[in-house]
Amino acid sequence: MLQFLGMLAAIALTAVCWGVYGPVLHFGREAMHSPLRPFVCVGLAYFLIAVLIPLVLLVRSGERGRWSSVGVFWSLIAGAAGALGALGVILALNFGGKPIYVMPLVFGGAPVVNTLLTAAMNKSFNQLKAPFLAGLILVITGAVTVLVFKPHPQAVEPVARAVATVASDLAVAPSDEPPLVPTVGKQTERFVEVLLSVAMAMVCWGAYGPVLHRGQMSMEGSRLRPLICIGGAYFLIAVLVPLALLSPLADKGTWDVAGGLWSLAAGSLGALGALGAILAFACGGKPLTVMPVVFGCAPVINTLTTLAFAHTQRSDVSPWFLAGMLVVAMGAVMVLIFGPRGHSPVKQPA
Query: Residue type at 141?
Result: T
Residue 345 pLDDT exceeds 50: no
* pLDDT level of residue 232 (50, 70, 90 thresholds): very high
pLDDT band at 173 (very low <50, low <70, confident <90, very high): very low
Q: Mind giving me the DSSP string for 88-100?
A: HHHHHHHTT--HH
The answer, yes or no, to whether residue 346 has pLDDT greater than 50, is: no
pLDDT of residue 298: 83
Which pTM value belongs to this model?
0.74
Q: Tell me the average pLDDT across 182-199.
A: 71
Under 8 Å CB-to-CB from 268, ≥6 apart: which residues? 45, 49
Residue 126: CB atoms within 10 Å: 8
Task: Compute φ and ψ for 315, nearest 5 degrees.
Answer: -65, -20
- pLDDT interval class at 159 (50, 70, 90): very low
Asked if the model's pLDDT at residue 132 lies above 60, the reply is yes
Helix ranges restricted to H, 126-256: 130-148, 156-169, 191-218, 224-235, 241-245
* 255 vs 164, more confident: 255
pLDDT at 301: 85
Q: What is the pLDDT, as a whole number, of residue 307? A: 76
Does 162 have pLDDT greater than 50?
no
- The ranges assigned to domains in the chain are 2-116+152-284
Q: How many CB atoms lie under 10 A from the CB of residue 241?
A: 16
CA–CA distance, 310 with 315 (Å, rounded to integer): 14
